[in-house]
């Protein structure tokens, strides 16, 4: 599955300390069709532990389909593990991480986000943000009280308003986007977008169609611009949308076939059960070795299964009955119940008595 996905999605990624930090608190995961960036915080090694927990939790959640509930659950689980980890002495109290996770299936992109790591869509040479930052400056921008340029130099630019690890109630924002042929997905930690304006990022993506080259060039440009923070970038090229859409359809078809087969088996079961119930109440008379025999059930068989139980062999000779009845008894005369069959037998006996 992975190899097939890779024919349609090619990714490049890079994570870098930056120019001033001595450890990297960012973590990333590139595992088609899942792409994740986490930017840890908490000082010393704690941020690294928090972002690592987040990435591993998502990796283990087997997120291979576009399932918003499953993705949301995995993010909530990662949050719980970080909160509990800090309580148990893993990392340190107050450690946390951002998380931006993307899944691509068919022509759909699903993004879950907590914090200020970003997802962008690069489409027809234009870059547009998918996510909204959960940061103080991000919220001021949303309210129209701050511009992107002012945010870049704001003294509180690193204040995050939502992060994994802060409390148990954290929920991600979810975004669903329709993709087009040759779209590109960019995920990055704030070490990239705090150093480079969106127009510069856009220009680099336009210059470098190869995703790995683009990721390398973006990180290099952020370093050249100061590189104050850790820088992490994932670039995913949607190379073959038609192929992606087809593989999604195939999976749907397979699921459909399995569903149909289960429904068919259930139907057969219900049918056999129904026929069995019906047969158990029914009865028939048939000629065997010259005499009329009474059976419960049905003459013949149902898809190879005999549904008849002998009640008794009567002393009524078939050749003494009228020829029409005798002819019918060769094949069997079906009745709705044993009582009805018994009434027929009584009738035959009275016919015999009349003849003798
Ligand atoms: Ca950062």
* Ligand 1 centroid – CA 219 distance (Å): 13
The last residue of one of the domains, among 216, 238, 260, is 238
Number of domains the chain is built from: 2
| 209 and 329 fall within a common domain | no
Asked whether residue 35 falls in the same domain as residue 99, the answer is yes
Q: Please indicate, yes or no, whether residues 36 and 119 belong to a single structural domain of this protein.
A: yes
- Same domain? For 63 and 196 the reply is yes
Same domain for 199 and 344, yes or no, is no
Ligand 1 centroid vs 183 CA: distance in angstroms?
26
Residues 294, 221, single domain; the answer is no
Instruction: Determine the structural domain holding residue 29 and report its residue range.
Output: 4-238
- In-domain check, residue 258: no
Tokens of 235: 């670039």
**CATH code of the domain covering residue 81:** 3.60.40.10
User: Do 185 and 321 fall into the same domain?
Assistant: no
Contact of 53 with 99, CB cutoff 8 Å: no
Q: Is residue 276 part of a domain?
A: no
Are residues 154 and 30 part of one domain? Answer: yes
* One-character DSSP codes across 165-209: TS-TT---EEEEEE--TT-EEEEE-HHHHTTS-HHHHHHHHHH--
Q: Is residue 222 domain-shared with residue 324, that is, in the same domain?
A: no
271 inside domain = no
Same domain, 304 and 234: no
Q: Give CA–CA dist 211/217, Å, rounded.
A: 10
Quote the ligand 1 centre to 191 CA distance (angstroms).
5
Let me know whether 322 and 232 are in one domain.
Answer: no
Tens of pLDDT along the chain (356 residues) come to 344 445 689 999 999 999 988 889 999 999 999 999 999 998 767 899 999 999 999 999 999 899 999 999 999 999 999 999 888 888 788 899 999 999 999 889 999 999 999 999 999 999 999 999 999 999 898 889 999 888 888 888 888 999 999 889 999 999 999 999 899 999 999 999 999 999 999 999 999 999 999 999 999 999 999 999 999 999 999 987 777 777 777 777 777 888 888 888 888 877 778 888 888 888 999 999 899 999 998 887 777 778 888 888 889 999 989 888 999 999 899 888 889 999 989 988 888 887 65
Q: How far is the CA of 324 from the centre of ligand 1 (A)?
A: 97
The answer to whether the CB of 185 falls within 8 A of the CB of 102 is yes
**Distance in Å, CA 145 to ligand 1 centroid:** 23
- Residue 178: inside a domain: yes
Instruction: For residue 55, report the distance from its CA to the centre of ligand 1, in Å.
Output: 16
Q: How far, in Å, from the CA of 114 to the mean position of ligand 1?
A: 13
């Amino acid at each position: 599955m992975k190899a097939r996905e890779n024919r349609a999605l090619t990714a490049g990624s890079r994570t870098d300390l930056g120019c001033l930090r001595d450890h990297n608190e960012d973590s990333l995961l590139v595992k088609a069709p899942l792409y994740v960036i986490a930017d840890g915080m908490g000082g010393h090694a704690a941020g690294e532990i928090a972002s690592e927990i987040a990435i591993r939790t998502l990796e283990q959640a087997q997120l291979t389909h576009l399932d918003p509930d499953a993705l949301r659950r995995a993010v909530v689980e990662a949050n719980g593990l970080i909160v509990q980890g800090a309580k148990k002495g893993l990392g340190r109290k107050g450690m946390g991480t951002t998380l931006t996770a993307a899944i691509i299936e068919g022509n759909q992109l699903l993004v879950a986000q907590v914090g200020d790591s970003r997802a962008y869509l690069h489409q027809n040479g234009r870059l547009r943000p998918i996510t909204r930052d959960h940061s103080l400056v991000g919220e001021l921008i949303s309210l129209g009280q701050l511009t992107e340029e002012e945010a870049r130099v704001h003294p509180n630019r690193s204040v995050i308003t939502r992060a994994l690890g802060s409390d148990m109630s954290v929920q991600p924002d979810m975004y669903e986007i329709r993709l087009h042929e040759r779209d590109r997905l960019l995920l990055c930690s704030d070490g990239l977008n705090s150093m480079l304006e969106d127009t510069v990022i856009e220009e680099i993506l336009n210059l470098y169609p190869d995703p790995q080259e683009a990721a390398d060039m973006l990180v290099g440009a952020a370093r050249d611009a100061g590189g104050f923070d850790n820088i992490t970038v994932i670039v995913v090229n949607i190379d073959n949308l038609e192929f992606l859409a087809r593989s999604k359809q195939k999976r749907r078809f397979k699921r459909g076939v399995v569903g149909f087969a289960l429904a068919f088996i259930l139907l057969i079961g219900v049918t056999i059960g129904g026929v069995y119930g019906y047969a158990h109440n029914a009865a028939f008379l048939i000629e065997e070795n010259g005499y009329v025999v009474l059976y419960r059930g049905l003459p013949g068989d149902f898809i190879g299964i005999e549904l008849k139980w002998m009640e008794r062999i009567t002393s009524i000779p078939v050749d003494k009955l009228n020829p029409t009845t005798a002819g019918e008894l060769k094949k069997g005369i079906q009745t709705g119940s044993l009582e009805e069959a018994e009434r027929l037998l009584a009738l035959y006996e009275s016919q015999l008595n009349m003849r003798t």
